[in-house]
Amino acid sequence: MVIEPKKRNIAYRCPECGSAVIGLVGKFALAANLLRLKCTCGEGAPLDIKMESDGKIRLSVPCVFCKQNHSYTVSEAVFFDRELFLLNCPYAGMDIAFIGEESDIDEQLQRTENEIRQLMSALEAEELSDIQPAEMNEDEILPDPAVYDTLRFLVRDLEESGKLSCPCGEGEYDLRFCDGGVQVYCERCGATHTFYATTPTMAEEYLETEEIKLK
């Protein structure tokens, strides 16, 4: 029996020209190198993927809505074994990158293309740049979206494995920035749980969390 080395498709949309960029990530290649995906237009920022020594996979993903990269940290299992994993922009609330099988990714690209069209027509925008922010410098972007991204990953992961609960028992969970960090809250009963993290490193410490009960 031959064991196929694990491979994964990843896709994002170029923030400059709006084209979908799709790449194939091999586990062995990733263990050895930083992988970089770039749009053929040559203008947009690249997507970087790197495996850390702790086995976690770090992604820097260009956001078509914010025109800056967002950082995400996912476990190897999520990256290579999850059927479909979506990376979401914390500002626009839109999915900006997809990890999974080719057919699922194509479907997501189609869905998000429609979302972008709808957004553009709602804003009476003619070009992609009309819905993007003007150039801004890093200091203006507060709080750090990487903190939100990391905690969002944790919450979705716990939610999917049934390790996130709240008093009403049928919570629909979402996240928001709050004083001192990020809060996960139940949209039905209003219960919350706060992560006190203002830097990516502080947020990553929460990744060890095994269960959360909202109060």
CA distance 156 to 81: 15
- Residue 16 interacts with Zn ion (CB under 5 A): yes or no: yes
- Residue 168 interacts with Zn ion (CB under 5 A): yes or no: yes
- Residue 38 interacts with Zn ion (CB under 5 A): yes or no: no
* Span from 73-81, 98-106, 111-119, 189-197 in contact with Zn ion (CB under 5 A): 189-197
Nearest to 81 by CA among 156, 160, 7, 23: 7
* Span from 12-20, 25-33, 54-62, 194-202 in contact with Zn ion (CB under 5 A): 12-20
- Residue 44 interacts with Zn ion (CB under 5 A): yes or no: yes
* Span from 16-24, 147-155, 173-181, 198-206 in contact with Zn ion (CB under 5 A): 16-24
End-to-end CA distance of the chain: 50
SS3 155: helix
Q: Which burial class, exposed, middle or buried, applies to 91 when counting CB atoms under 10 A from its CB (0-12, 13-18, 19+)?
A: middle
List residues binding Zn ion (CB under 5 A): 14, 16-17, 19, 39, 41, 44, 63, 65-66, 89, 91, 166, 168, 171, 186, 188-189
